[in-house]
Structure 1
Amino acid sequence: MENNKMISALCYVSLLFAPFLLPIIVYFVIKDKRVKYHAKRALLSHSIPTVLSLLLVFFGFIGVFSMDYDNMNGFIVKMFVLMGIYFAITIGVIIWNLVQAYRVFRVGF
């Protein structure tokens, strides 16, 4: 039981060192339903910053190649605002993952 708690908590903390790899491996290797539940939640929370960064890059490329030089200042301001929102969401996801790891490890499933 203690090992299952540790593995579940490690799935959340793996955002810092192996974001997708560890939750996927744990999901397919471990048979316990609670551990699989936490691995799925961790994988979903790890995908949020990745999807947002891909959208940010996509909109950045579209904007850079479709803007003319005169309108570039407004686009740059919008991109900095979007990057700030992205970093705030990413920090929030990191904090959420660390809190979930603490709750799983200390409080229980």
Structure 2
Amino acid sequence: MRQLLSSLSYFSIFFAPFLLPLIVWILSPDAYVAKHARRALFSHVFPVIAAIPMIYMAVTSGSFGSIIGYLILFGIIYFGAFVYNIIMGIQVLRETAY
């Protein structure tokens, strides 16, 4: 059950990116589940935090090329976080198989 709840925290990027890991982290008495929920929450919040300076720079620069560049950079960061969550969710689930 521990691994299932921990992996759901990572897989929640598909259905409840911020809400489920936060709830699991706050309510879980198990340190293992809380650790993975905290990591999942950070990996869901990180692209949003990284987007704040990029949005500011894109708005203040005003050139179309820099706006496109910042959007591409945000896409790469978000895609990396998305793939990380999928990999970690699978990795946590596979821990039960051994």
Provide the TM-score with structure 2 as the length reference: 0.88
Equivalent positions of 1:81-100 (< 5 A) are 81-100=69-88
How far apart, CA to CA, are the structure 2 residues paired with 1:17 and 1:101?
A: 14
How far apart, CA to CA, are the structure 2 residues paired with 1:13 and 1:106?
A: 14
The alignment status of 1:47 with 2:45, answered yes or no, reads yes
Point out the structure with max Rg over C-alpha.
Answer: 1
Give 1:44's aligned amino acid: F
Equivalent positions of 1:63-102 (< 5 A) are 63-64=61-62, 75-102=63-90
Give 1:100's aligned amino acid: M
C-alpha RMSD over aligned residues: 1.3
Specify the SS of the correspondent of 1:19.
coil
**How far off is 1:100 after superposition?**
0.1
Specify the SS of the correspondent of 1:31.
coil
4+ runs deviating over 4 angstroms: none
The alignment status of 1:105 with 2:93, answered yes or no, reads yes
Percent of matched pairs sharing the same residue? 29
**How far off is 1:53 after superposition?**
2.5
